[in-house]
């Protein structure tokens, strides 16, 4: 029909605004590499390039029993991880919601005392052998013996080394030292800002006499890299860990010689193992391109950014990650609804189940509310390959308050949703490709380059990896041959085992 052709044209126009072509990918990679270098030399740049003091990656043979805790946003997780030494592990976990009054407590002590209490409760429940201090020293043990020992309550080490995943902005000055720069995600305890969060936790652990040492401060991307390197080891270990979930960030293995802000003595650091000549660097790439010279910025992106709590910051993340893609789509759909020429969802003669009816948008539709559309809807659109777009129309009816949408409406929404998803995936290739090019990974050896990824977007958005690969091939230093040498794999739920592995590395050092 005439309406369907006109609508499809309008949708294509909107979709075109999200185009991020090969030439744009190449320009963005060049700029990313420039910003990487800036961040390696000096603090306070768009890419923070935070030294993690982790100077080696695992190869799958690591063994032992470790603890990990994770203070993310809403929950506090405590777990123990038994590394079997053959790329597998067993994990015991508990999870508790952080009471709101502690998120805004007067003193840091109130929050950290609560965290230590959770560790105590976990030890009592799952590791009473540690809790009661029953010690049995054995020098060697097989895998089966270790499992059996844990079951029997016999322990290998006197003290649990613990990896502390703390997902707030930190200035890290040692493998288990880092001061809190500021709170995010609804936390607000002024007393804690500027303090070493590992020391805060260790103090409270010591007051309870728990056999636990806070051995490592862990960023979740570094945990992803380490977990991937342990569970799917290759010849040279994993090169990069990346998260595409609520937010996006990545960490990679860099030469110490290039990390001059650490090695030239201008910043405060504690001692670390320099023997490998490498260190994992946490890029904080969500903040790439702060001046937005190379990002494909549409009017929807500009509006979205201006409505966030941190306008002008995390611009890359705002085009790539789960927290924002649904909102971008919502804005684009609204623009089509308000398009006077051919408005979306205003078909007086749409057909559903052979009954002709008028499309209705209910006034309380989530489409009219900020953050009303979840990024999982983009995955649904991209996975709907049916002729009649029934899954999309059903979801719009159930979740978006749009009754009897027509096929051409659904197709228009799908076109735009896929353009936004495609742009996110092609953007995701920029930091991955840039890290590979900047470190000369493809030239320095012939081995596979392993990349560990985690997060709902990369896990559930259809063909996210295929779209990343398409963009990687457009980077001249990578090309088709290079792209084939890159292995990308999910490091699912890597945070616990990753933190354990960092605690292990840290324990070996100090
Ligand atoms: P986090 O990053 O917080 O650890 P996730 O990796 O689960 O957690 O990411 C959550 C984000 O992923 C949310 O922003 C959500 O909107 C988005 N999301 C959830 N399900 C899907 C899906 N099926 N497809 C794409 N995005 C999704």
CATH of the domain at 391: 3.40.367.20
Q: What is the DSSP letter of 448?
A: P
Apex 441 CA angle, 438 and 446, nearest 5: 160
Last residue of a domain, one of 376, 401, 422: 422
Q: How many CB atoms lie within 10 A of CB 466?
A: 9
Are 433 and 479 within 8 A, CB to CB?
Answer: no
Last residue of a domain, one of 193, 218, 243: 218
pLDDT band at residue 1 using 50, 70 and 90 as cut-offs: confident
- Which pTM value belongs to this model? 0.90
Last residue of a domain, one of 389, 422, 455: 422
- Cβ of 490 closer than 6 Å to ligand 1, yes or no, is no
Average pLDDT over residues 402-415: 94
For residues 214 and 303, membership in a common domain is answered with no
pLDDT band at residue 264 using 50, 70 and 90 as cut-offs: confident
> Above 80 in pLDDT, residue 238?
yes
Average pLDDT over residues 43-68: 94
Average pLDDT over residues 234-243: 92
Average pLDDT over residues 18-25: 98
End-to-end CA distance of the chain: 72
Nearest CA to ligand 1 atom 17: 322
> Above 90 in pLDDT, residue 196?
yes
For residues 203 and 345, membership in a common domain is answered with no
pLDDT band at residue 323 using 50, 70 and 90 as cut-offs: very high
Which of 227-236, 267-276, 386-395 shows the highest mean pLDDT? 386-395
How many angstroms is it from 374 CA to the middle of ligand 1?
9
For residues 64 and 207, membership in a common domain is answered with yes
Q: Residue 112 sits in which domain range? A: 58-218
Whether 252 is covered by a domain: the verdict is no
- Cβ of 482 closer than 6 Å to ligand 1, yes or no, is no
Q: Name the least confident of 46-50, 290-294, 351-355.
A: 351-355
Average pLDDT over residues 440-452: 93
Q: What is the ipTM of this complex?
A: 0.98
Q: Is the model more confident about 147 or about 460?
A: 460
Whether 46 is covered by a domain: the verdict is no
20, 21, 23, 29 alpha-carbon torsion, rounded to 10°:
50
185, 246, 379: residue to mutate for ligand 1 pocket, most atoms within 8 A of CB: 246
Cα separation, 255 vs 272, whole angstroms: 14
Cα separation, 418 vs 52, whole angstroms: 36
For residues 80 and 167, membership in a common domain is answered with yes
94-126 tens-digit pLDDT: 999 999 999 999 999 999 999 999 999 999 999
Q: Is 360 helix (H, G, I), strand (E, B) or coil?
A: strand
The pLDDT of residue 139 is 36
Whether 442 is covered by a domain: the verdict is no
The pLDDT of residue 149 is 56
Are 335 and 17 within 8 A, CB to CB?
Answer: no
Query: What percentage of the chain carries pLDDT values higher than 90?
Result: 75
Query: What percentage of the chain carries pLDDT values higher than 70?
Result: 92
Cα separation, 73 vs 94, whole angstroms: 16
Mean pLDDT score of the chain: 90
pLDDT band at residue 186 using 50, 70 and 90 as cut-offs: confident
Q: Is the model more confident about 279 or about 167?
A: 279
The pLDDT of residue 477 is 97
Q: How many CB atoms lie within 10 A of CB 460?
A: 16
Tally of domains in the chain: 2
Which of 193-207, 281-295, 350-364 shows the highest mean pLDDT? 193-207
> Above 60 in pLDDT, residue 142?
no
pLDDT band at residue 418 using 50, 70 and 90 as cut-offs: very high
> Above 80 in pLDDT, residue 509?
no
Nearest CA to ligand 1 atom 27: 376
- Cβ of 48 closer than 6 Å to ligand 1, yes or no, is no
Whether 106 is covered by a domain: the verdict is yes
Whether 158 is covered by a domain: the verdict is yes
Q: Name the least confident of 100-109, 228-237, 268-277, 351-360.
A: 351-360
Taking the CA of residue 321 as reference, the ligand 1 atom at the shortest distance is 14
DSSP-derived pairing of the beta strands 160-166 and 170-174: unpaired
Strands (E), 46-200: 50-51, 63-71, 75-84, 89-97, 160-166, 170-174, 177-180
Whether 37 is covered by a domain: the verdict is no
Taking the CA of residue 322 as reference, the ligand 1 atom at the shortest distance is 14
């Amino acid at each position: 029909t005439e309406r369907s052709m006109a609508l499809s044209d309008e949708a294509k126009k909107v979709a075109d605004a999200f185009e991020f072509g090969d030439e744009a990918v190449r320009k963005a990679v060049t700029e990313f590499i420039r910003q990487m270098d800036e961040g390696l030399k000096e603090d306070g740049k768009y890419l923070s390039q935070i030294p993690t003091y982790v100077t080696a990656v695992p190869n799958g043979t690591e063994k032992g029993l470790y603890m990990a805790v994770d203070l993310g946003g809403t929950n506090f997780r405590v777990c123990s991880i038994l590394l079997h030494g053959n790329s597998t592990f067993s994990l015991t976990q508990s999870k508790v919601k952080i009471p709101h009054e502690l998120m805004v407590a007067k003193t840091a002590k109130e929050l950290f005392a609560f965290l230590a209490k959770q560790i105590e409760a976990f030890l009592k429940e799952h590791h009473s052998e540690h809790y009661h201090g029953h010690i049995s020293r054995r020098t060697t043990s097989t895998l089966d013996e270790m499992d059996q020992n844990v079951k029997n309550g016999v322990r290998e080490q006197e003290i649990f080394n613990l990896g502390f995943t703390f997902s707030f902005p930190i200035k890290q000055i040692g493998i288990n030292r880092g001061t809190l720069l500021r709170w995010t995600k609804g936390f607000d305890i002024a007393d804690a800002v500027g303090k070493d969060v590992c020391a805060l936790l260790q103090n409270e652990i010591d007051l309870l006499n728990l056999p636990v040492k806070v051995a490592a401060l862990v960023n979740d991307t570094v945990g992803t890299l380490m977990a991937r390197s342990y569970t799917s080891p290759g010849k040279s270990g994993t090169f990069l860990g990346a998260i595409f979930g609520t937010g996006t960030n990545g960490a990679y293995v860099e030469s110490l010689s290039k990390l001059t802000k650490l090695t030239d003595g201008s910043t405060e650091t504690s001692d670390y193992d320099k023997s490998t000549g490498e260190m994992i660097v946490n890029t904080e790439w969500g903040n790439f391109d702060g001046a937005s010279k190379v990002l494909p910025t549409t009017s929807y992106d500009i509006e979205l950014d201006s409505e966030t709590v941190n306008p002008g910051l995390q611009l890359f993340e705002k085009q790539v990650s789960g927290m924002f893609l649904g909102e971008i789509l919502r804005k684009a759909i609204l623009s089509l609804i308000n398009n006077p020429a051919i408005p979306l969802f205003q078909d007086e003669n749409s057909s559903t189940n052979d009954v002709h009816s008028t499309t209705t948008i209910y006034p309380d539709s989530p489409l009219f509310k900020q953050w009303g559309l979840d990024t999982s809807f983009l995955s649904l659109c991209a996975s709907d390959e049916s002729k009649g777009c029934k899954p999309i129309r059903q979801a719009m009816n159930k979740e978006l308050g749009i009754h009897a949408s027509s096929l051409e409406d659904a197709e228009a929404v799908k076109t735009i949703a896929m353009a936004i998803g495609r742009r996110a995936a092609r953007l995701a290739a920029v930091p991955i490709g840039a890290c590979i090019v900047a470190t000369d990974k493809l030239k320095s050896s012939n081995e596979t380059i392993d990349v560990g990824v985690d997060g709902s977007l990369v896990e559930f958005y259809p063909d996210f990896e295929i779209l990343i690969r398409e963009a990687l091939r457009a980077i001249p230093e990578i090309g088709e041959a290079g792209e084939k040498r890159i292995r990308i794999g999910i490091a699912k739920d890597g945070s616990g085992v990753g933190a354990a592995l960092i605690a292990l590395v840290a324990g070996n050092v100090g």
